[in-house]
Structure 1
Amino acid sequence: MMRRFEHARILMYSHDTFGLGHLRRCRTIAHSLVEDYGGLNVLIISGATIAGAFDYRARVDFVKIPSVIKLRNGEYTSLERHIDLQETLKMRQSIIRHTAETFQPDIFIVDKEPLGLRGEVEETLSYLKTRGTTLVLGLREVMDAPHLLEAEWKKSDVMRKIGRFYDMIWAYGPPDFYDPLTGLDVPAQVSAKMKFVGFLQRSLSHDEMPGHRPEGDYILVTTGGGGDGAELIHNVIHAYQQDPELQHKALIVLGPYMPVKKRRKLIKKGGKIPQIKIIEFDSHMEELIAGAKAVVAMGGYNTYCEILSFDKPALIVPRVKPREEQLIRARRAAELGLVEMLLPEEADDAPRFAAALRALPDRPRPSQSNPDLRLAGLVNISEIVGGWLDQRTHPHLSVVDGAS
């Protein structure tokens, strides 16, 4: 029987400036929690321009804050160019604070950015701390190269503020895969709050299959949000052009953030190859990955979890700048035999890339390389949250703080 926590509330924050990773991760956790606990309501604050393109389960909703986009050089700008970035950030900060005051959450979960984009969540963290809300920071299992993360966090005194504000830090991976804070000077106060909950397993929704799923066997090519995915798609198409023996059907998903000019060019180029079908976006990527014979991807966190969840042979061509997160994840996964990795310059070599694509469907699945692999993140998060909500309902009980 489903446990009930009447009027329990969880607020989640997802800054969303480049790609879909943060929102998709928050949505996955939210859906899992409302499935496990009746009476629980989850509200996600998101800056994703297409937050409304996804479906949400009952008792999960979102508040859209004005969008800010990250440029390829790592700088930010307002999506609406006529609005000043500082004005946009002020609006975002005000909406976040007002939402927290109105919603009055029992738990506040912040995804990846400890203080929010440019510190926009700090004021809300301070407010919620005074009213006893449990504050959680959720970190990808790989954040970035240590020297880049350390430089970024030092500017705003982030590590000290993590220790001051947060009750727990969830690392969304197992401890033997990677530590998101590796190479950093982590105070004891912060390391004591770390919980490695595990990778977040994905499953198929109970809805009908999307119309985009092709008949028969196919390789899925995905770049996530697609903002910097054009090069990978170009290289896939080029490999098919150069190698007539490459006959696998390929479904290419460009991603909603791919620049329009690049999108049109790739659709035109790919349209000349009978084995290739190109679509712009699908909000049910889980179904497309589950149906694929194999996956070619840049290897963002969500795609990686889906590759593991549906046990698909995978070829990863990671982004290598400005962040090194995908590169670090792909190297570690390749080291463990879970995926095959090519660097972007290696994928530029059409014969080499074509050979890797030809062999891909027959390479070992992740479970064959690593049979002990477990994706327990959602189960562990549910246990932790259930313990906290129990404590609020029955304050005399001891707090259950879940899996480490």
Structure 2
Amino acid sequence: MSTSTSHLDWPFFDDAHRSLAREVAQWVSTQSIDHADADAACRSWVKALGAAGFLRYCVPAAQGGALAELDSRALCVLREHLAEHDALADFAFAMQGLGSGAITLAGSEAMKQTWLPKVARGTAIAAFALSEPDAGSDVAAIATTATPTKGGWRLDGRKTWISNGGIADFYCVFARSDAASSGAKGITAFLVPAETKGLTIAERIETVSPHPLATLQFTACEVPDTHRIGAVGDGFKLAMRTLDIFRVSVAAAAVGFARRALRETIARANARAMFGSTLAAQPLAQAIVGDMAADLDAACLLTYRAAWQRDRTPARTTAVAAMAKLTATEHAQTIIDRAVQLHGGLGVRSGHIVERLYRDIRALRIYEGATEVQRLIIGRELLKAAESATRDPRNA
């Protein structure tokens, strides 16, 4: 069974990852930011993470990053330890990477040099604007339009469930640039600074685990062609490539939440008096803790296997990333639910750590591809690979 650090001995990691894990764990243990105002808390976390140098792992070295290329294992190590400490710390870090990921992958050199160093320093807050009222899990249903104009594009439509909505300095927006196309075809990505005329915050959205979230309205929102990210019509592929990188890190955040829940449960079980002994002495409690530990290790193994595989191979790792996110988020939900149960009344007391974790984990089973979508992805990828193998004449 892995403790909070023993999994770092697994062969998925290099010494640099182990050193990074120790560094972020020590740093985050000294940080405390008030959650009373979620917007202010996220701004504070971005600033603090930038000053500490951890946001440098969200961008390549050419634009002020820590490593030559984005490294999934580093992203996962950081998210796991940040999530174990504070969900908003994890959120602030993750959105800097996801929100700027399309620029890293396909932005022009000028765009990269303008925005990515600011992301790394924590002086610009990023956001990823993909989801719409009728296009969440079904990304190909995007209805926001991008109409060509002289020298640029006009964006019209609505994006919703946008993390960092209302506090971001820029948004990576995906819109349909070919009205005649349908499905995944004809979607293009654009960088839209927050102050752009025609972009407004239509609604702020409150959720069970508070963080900046909003609906964006685009009304005759003009952007120059220099703000286009990648080729016209390549937006869907770009969105999927971005999610392939960061989906595994969602699993790592779930591992962090689950690890904190297990730690809190063990401490509570050892301290709580029950039936002339302690909760920890009760066989049923021991069995529940055993299940929690086994589920945690399973989630952790799949998460870092997927991160390692993505770092080591040029091929897309869609299926293993989906397996990691599916397993880690579902197991974390179960682990945290058991933690609440073993805490008894304290587990549902507002403000208690496991009550907070219970709210924090729920969204991870939905965003960046809901659990049901991950199941479809895994099945589709395996069946497609089997079909290709059957058609390969070398297998005849």
TM-score, structure 2 length as denominator?
A: 0.29
Query: Which of the pair is proportionally richer in helix?
Result: 2
TM-score by length of 1: 0.28
